[in-house]
Amino acid sequence: MWRAVRNRIPTPLALQAQNCFDGDSVCIMCQEGEESAEHLFYGYFVASIVCNHISG
């Protein structure tokens, strides 16, 4: 959890910011956005469905 809060999850977008990744940063699961920690936990539709089921 602390990695997500501090944006330390090694996603392609985070690795590009550190010049460690030279590939495509589009989400491989949905092809609808850049694969960042925010997208994986909040923007990705499956994650939002899981969060809705957990919270309510």
Mean pLDDT by 10 residues, the chain (56 residues): 80 88 87 84 74 78
pLDDT at 28: 83
pLDDT attached to residue 8: 83
* C-beta of residue 13 within 8 angstroms of C-beta of residue 6: no
**Can you say whether the dihedral through the CA atoms of 26, 27, 30, 32 is positive or negative?**
negative
Q: What pLDDT is attached to residue 50?
A: 78
CA-CA distance, 23 to 13, in Å (whole number)? 10
pLDDT score of 35: 87
| Three-class DSSP category at 34 | strand
Residue type, 9: I
